[in-house]
Amino acid sequence: MSAHASTSAAANEARGRRSAEDVEYSKTHFRVCRFITETGVKLGMRSVPMATACVLYHRFFQSASLQIYEPYLVAMSAIHLAGKVEEQHLRTRDIINVCHRYFHPDSEPLELNGKFWELRDSIVQCELLILRQLNFQVTFEHPHKYLLHYLLSVRSLLNRHAWSRTPIAETALAVLKDSYHGSVCVRHRPQHLALTALYLALQTYGVQLPRGELEWWQVVCADITKAQIETIMSELLQLYDMEAKCT
Amino acid sequence: MDRDLLRQSVSFHGENLLSLLKCEQNENPDFKHLASDLYKSLNQRDKDEQSPVLEQFIARKADLLFAPSWKISEPADEWQEESGEAFAVMPPLEQFMEVSFEERRELFYRDVERGDMVIGRINSVRDFGLFVTLLCTAGGLKRDIEDLEIKALCPKREVPSTGNHDDPLSYYQIGDLIRAGVKDIDRYHEKLTLSLHSSSVSPHMEKVKLGVLNKEDLPLHYTRGEIVSSDSNETFEKLLDDSLGLSNPLNVDFLLGKLGISDTQTPSLMRGLQSKRFKEEDFATTIRKKQSVSWALKCVKTGVGHFKSGRHVDAMNEYNKALEIDTNNVEALVARGALYATKGSLVKAIEDFELALENCPTHRNAKKYLCQTLVERGGQVEEEEKLVTAESLYKRALVLDDTFKEAAEVLEKLQIRIQKSLKLKELEAAKEQEKAKTAETSAEKLRKILKEEKRMKKKRKRSTSSSTSSDSSSSSSSDSSPSTSRKKSKKRKHKRRRSSRSSKKHKRRVSSCSDKTAEDDRDWFPAPANTSASYINQNQSISKLMSESEPVWGAESRGRFEEDLERGSDQVKPAGFRSGVNGEPLKVNERVGNRRDSSSSTQSEYSHKSERHSEFSGRNPSRSERAGNDGGKTNSANTKKDLPLNLLDIFSQIAEFQKDKKQKK
């Protein structure tokens, strides 16, 4: 009896430790993804390449361990690789410059000397590592195009003046962009993510859409249920809570 | 904060939201104004539908979500034909949702506005207008309205006339598909008035053609909607996934552009990612620029080292490298300019210094070196006798640095030189002017004669039939007609070949003259020139001209024609004195034709004649400019053209001129 209890206690403890670790890890991931997004803005990256960079990062650490690999280096290489995959080529020099300044604010730009070239080499090496870790599957379907098409369809349902004064598109895109801070982006189908972002935006402003036999979201994604939408929505909203804890 | 939006949100979510808002947005001054309003608009919401997490989120982010600056999208106004290639064009969502008949009808009448476009089928044609049953929307709205059987009227006055004098309504038949604009709406009575005038649609859709359509012109969202309604397996998802537009890699960019949102500055709701938190110095381009500047400076330093040790080639390489890294780097430009100056390529040096000063107007070395180089260059240029250029160079040097004594001295010397040369030129010019005087006056008189001739031709034109002349005049006046263009091109080629210094002004004058004379020409010879009929006209006109212009012609034009006719006179003489007057116009034309290497078709004859006229009128101003300059071939060719105009006249004058010439010689 006591042995059973002790093993279950040990198991619980282990679970507790693991979940504590997970929390720590998710905080780290949040910070690194924030780093990726900020760098992306400073580099003038478009939404889709930025999304690819975050997804590369998340997928890498689904199978790799944070103990072994330096997350910020992986992030920088993910940005570089994403630029290549999504046809918005970024110069390594720019990535290094921006990241260096992120870590050493208000510093002078790096000299183009030996240290610089070493940094460049490490980014390139890490890029190869990411490719191998992901089995060279680096093209992803992102929710953005689905979201934009859904936005157009929903726009046609609304009165044009109501549409023009309600920032539905901005909110939905903002929520989508922020969703890349966590792994929710890799755990759900892109159509579902897009749908949830739009649903969230419509609910925020209390927009009433016409009702038919089916709700608009049932039409757009035949296999989704209200419960699923709610789940994804809560995951998305949790990320905003994390911001307060991590930064 | 947007009051209406807040109110809408609060009324949707209920009391909870309001209390949360008060809690979170306590500090926000904007919120305090509106808080009182919000109490009034509260609805009771079902307990199970409430979402506390969402409400918490809204409350926390309310200052962002409801800020007026949050709305950044500016939809593109241009109406684009949706081809389904840039993005997937989907049928109206209403159709998939199976919204009820009543609701769709109500929503349609609520949302349709003046200026929208609709497509419908004509179901009856009355004498006061067309009755149309709407099929689908085509711009401004995207709704599923086919089964609503909405009827609209397009009154007769809104149907544009077709150009014939028939009733415009007769053009339309029952069953035709037409695209029309919504002119007026009576929402209460649910009546629509349509129009087929393009002014009835919104400005951004004005280019779209209204009127009868083919089946192929129906909008894509309607045709795809038909596919969906016929095949019950087609879901929205399936249709979207099968669309070509979904696989367009650039559809995200395109659609963001359509919605009016910039892709590199997408909004975010995270506090740390708000745009005001980003500093310009942290952006990649800024850092890169700073880095390039310092890198380039390093190269310039090594380059200067090379320069001082005499290794000019290495120095130049370093400077060029620096400029590649950072174009328009001031230090590199100045250093390179100095190197050029030392080597002797002063022009390149000046370019570099000027560029450097553009970027940094206060660079001391750049100014100093530039002044020195300018003075040196001025010296070089002075030796080449380009005094004005030299003057400008010295002046520029003085402008830059007015304490530069050497420049002032050299400038003074130069100015004295210039004055001397100017005086010399004046003397020369005075001599030339005297020569020019005699020629000018006769040129003016000739112009008068020509004007009179033109007036007479115009009078004749009015008396002849109107239709042919109007056609020919319209054709000749339009530049697109090949013969006039050929005429002009021939004429212009001629001018370029012959006149070395013809100014643009007189070319324009010539072309305007040629337009008129071409017109006259066409009218003058309605029949081909090969027949005797044309000759008769010509003869008539010549005799008229002779009678009218003889007194003017007589004594005045001697001096000018002397030179012209002299050369041509030998060849002209035999032609003139031939008994068969018939042959003359042809002969001269042939000769003229040979000269021009063109065929003896009637068109070319017309063209020659008109060219003659035009060149004749055009030549006079040019002659006055080229006073005293024998144009050689020009004049003799001119003679040939002049002759048929006043044939008998000239022939009588030839003898006189020859006598005069002999006298002058």
A211–B99 CB contact, under 8 Å: yes
Give the range among A193-197, B279-283, B639-643 with minimum mean pLDDT: B639-643
User: How many angstroms separate the CA atoms of B340 and B347, rounded?
Assistant: 9
Which residues on B lie below 8 Å from A230 (Cβ)? 51
Give the range among B45-59, B402-416, B535-549 with minimum mean pLDDT: B535-549
**Percentage of residues in chain A having pLDDT higher than 90:** 68
A38–B251 CB contact, under 8 Å: no
Domains and CATH numbers, chain B: 3-66 (no CATH), 93-242 (2.40.50.140), 328-418 (1.25.40.10)
Nearest Cα of chain A lies from the Cα of B155 at a distance, in angstroms, of: 28
Is pLDDT above 90 for B390? no
Closest chain A residue by Cα to residue B253: A46
Residue whose tokens read 């909607």: B225
A148–B255 CB contact, under 8 Å: yes
Q: Are B513 and B520 in contact, with CB atoms under 8 Å apart?
A: no
Is pLDDT above 90 for A176? yes
A178–B270 CB contact, under 8 Å: yes
Is pLDDT above 50 for B269? yes
pLDDT at B44: 60
Is pLDDT above 80 for A82? yes
Name the phi and psi angles at B213, rounded to 5.
-120, 160
Is pLDDT above 80 for B165? no
Is pLDDT above 90 for A43? yes
Who wins on pLDDT, B373 or B178?
B178
> What average pLDDT score do residues A8-17 get?
73
pLDDT at B17: 82
Is pLDDT above 80 for B80? no
> What average pLDDT score do residues B137-164 get?
86
Closest chain B residue by Cα to residue A36: B273
User: How many angstroms separate the CA atoms of B138 and A231, rounded?
Assistant: 39
User: How many angstroms separate the CA atoms of B353 and B439, rounded?
Assistant: 52
Do A122 and A179 share a domain, yes or no?
A: no
Closest chain A residue by Cα to residue B53: A234
User: What predicted TM-score, i.e. pTM, was given to this entire model?
Assistant: 0.69
pLDDT per residue over B304-331, tens digit each?
A: 898 888 888 888 888 888 888 888 888 8
Do A39 and A156 share a domain, yes or no?
A: no
A42–B9 CB contact, under 8 Å: no
pLDDT category at B47 given cuts 50, 70, 90 is low
User: How many angstroms separate the CA atoms of B95 and B79, rounded?
Assistant: 23
Q: Which two tokens stand for residue B217?
A: 């012109």
Is pLDDT above 70 for A2? no
pLDDT at B502: 43
Last residue of a domain, one of A79, A114, A134: A134
pLDDT category at B25 given cuts 50, 70, 90 is confident
- Using alpha carbons, select from B103, B109, B102 the residue that is nearest to residue B191: B109
* Highest mean pLDDT (candidates B71-75, B242-246, B419-423): B242-246
A148–B259 CB contact, under 8 Å: yes
CATH number of the structural domain spanning residue A229: 1.10.472.10
Contact of A88 with chain B, judged by CB distance below 8 Å, is answered with no
Is pLDDT above 80 for B458? yes
Contact of B253 with chain A, judged by CB distance below 8 Å, is answered with yes
Which residues on B lie below 8 Å from A145 (Cβ)? 87, 246, 251-252, 255
Is pLDDT above 50 for B582? no
User: How many angstroms separate the CA atoms of B496 and B493, rounded?
Assistant: 5
pLDDT per residue over B324-336, tens digit each?
A: 888 888 888 888 8
Is pLDDT above 50 for B484? no
Do A126 and A195 share a domain, yes or no?
A: no
Do A5 and A112 share a domain, yes or no?
A: yes
Contact of B429 with chain A, judged by CB distance below 8 Å, is answered with no
pLDDT at B599: 43
* Highest mean pLDDT (candidates A184-188, A241-245, B559-563, B648-652): A184-188
Who wins on pLDDT, B448 or B617?
B448
Give the range among A22-31, B430-439, B504-513 with minimum mean pLDDT: B504-513
A151–B259 CB contact, under 8 Å: yes
pLDDT at B641: 52
pLDDT per residue over B594-641, tens digit each?
A: 444 444 444 444 444 444 444 444 444 444 444 444 444 444 444 555
pLDDT at A5: 65
pLDDT category at A225 given cuts 50, 70, 90 is very high
Contact of B2 with chain A, judged by CB distance below 8 Å, is answered with yes
Do A114 and A217 share a domain, yes or no?
A: no
Q: At what angle do helices B583-596 and B633-645 cross, to 10 degrees?
A: 150
Domain of residue A91 covers: 1-134
Contact of B274 with chain A, judged by CB distance below 8 Å, is answered with no
B291–A109 CB contact, under 8 Å: yes
pLDDT at B442: 73
H helix and E strand count, chain A: 12, 0
Who wins on pLDDT, A201 or B541?
A201
pLDDT at B510: 44
Closest chain B residue by Cα to residue A238: B53
Measure CB to CB from residue A210 to each of B13, B99, B142 and give the nearest one. B99
Measure CB to CB from residue A160 to each of B51, B111, B240 and give the nearest one. B111
Closest chain B residue by Cα to residue A244: B271
User: How many angstroms separate the CA atoms of A219 and B123, rounded?
Assistant: 34
Is pLDDT above 80 for B648? no
B273–A47 CB contact, under 8 Å: no
Closest chain A residue by Cα to residue B116: A160
pLDDT at A22: 83
Closest chain A residue by Cα to residue B100: A212
Is pLDDT above 50 for B583? no
pLDDT at B628: 41
pLDDT at A127: 95
Q: For B401, what's the count of Cα atoms within 13 Å in the CB-facing half-sphere? A: 22
Residues 37-96 of B with CB under 8 A from A: 51, 53-54, 56-58, 60-61, 65, 70-73, 75, 87-88, 90, 92-94, 96
* Highest mean pLDDT (candidates A108-117, B103-112, B489-498): B103-112
Last residue of a domain, one of A114, A134, A154: A134
Is pLDDT above 60 for B2? yes
Contact of B255 with chain A, judged by CB distance below 8 Å, is answered with yes
pLDDT per residue over B361-371, tens digit each?
A: 888 888 888 88
User: Considering chain B, what is the average pLDDT of its residues?
Assistant: 74
pLDDT at B42: 66
B98–A222 CB contact, under 8 Å: no
pLDDT per residue over B176-210, tens digit each?
A: 899 999 999 998 888 899 999 888 888 888 888 88
Q: Which two tokens stand for residue B324?
A: 């590649």
pLDDT at A44: 92
Q: Which two tokens stand for residue B151?
A: 């009827």
Give the range among A41-45, A227-231, B202-206 with minimum mean pLDDT: B202-206
Residues 17-76 of A with CB under 8 A from B: 34, 37-38, 41-48
Is pLDDT above 90 for B216? no
Measure CB to CB from residue A170 to each of B110, B263, B267 and give the nearest one. B267
Nearest Cα of chain B lies from the Cα of A42 at a distance, in angstroms, of: 4
Q: Are B574 and B651 in contact, with CB atoms under 8 Å apart?
A: no
pLDDT at B141: 86
Chain A with chain B: Cβ pairs closer than 8 A:
224
pLDDT at B76: 67
Amino acid at residue number B348: K
Is pLDDT above 80 for B542? no
Number of domains composing chain A? 2
Residue whose tokens read 């109107």: B466
B288–A94 CB contact, under 8 Å: yes
Residues 97-136 of A with CB under 8 A from B: 97-98, 101-102, 106, 108-112
Instruction: Classify residue B207 by its DSSP letter.
Output: T
B253–A247 CB contact, under 8 Å: no
Do A4 and A122 share a domain, yes or no?
A: yes
pLDDT at B43: 64
B273–A110 CB contact, under 8 Å: no
Do A147 and A130 share a domain, yes or no?
A: no
pLDDT at B591: 46
pLDDT at B474: 42
Do A199 and A147 share a domain, yes or no?
A: yes
pLDDT at B385: 77
Nearest Cα of chain B lies from the Cα of A128 at a distance, in angstroms, of: 24
Q: At what angle do helices A143-157 and A168-178 cross, to 10 degrees?
A: 160
Where would I find the H helices in A112-222? 114-133, 143-157, 160-165, 168-178, 184-187, 190-205, 216-220
Do A215 and A157 share a domain, yes or no?
A: yes
Q: Which helix (H) or strand (E) holds B634?
A: helix B633-645
Is pLDDT above 50 for B268? yes
Do A75 and A149 share a domain, yes or no?
A: no
B111–A181 CB contact, under 8 Å: no
Do A117 and A194 share a domain, yes or no?
A: no
Which residues on A lie below 8 Å from B253 (Cβ)? 46
User: How many angstroms separate the CA atoms of A204 and A201, rounded?
Assistant: 5
Last residue of a domain, one of A134, A167, A186: A134
Do A117 and A165 share a domain, yes or no?
A: no
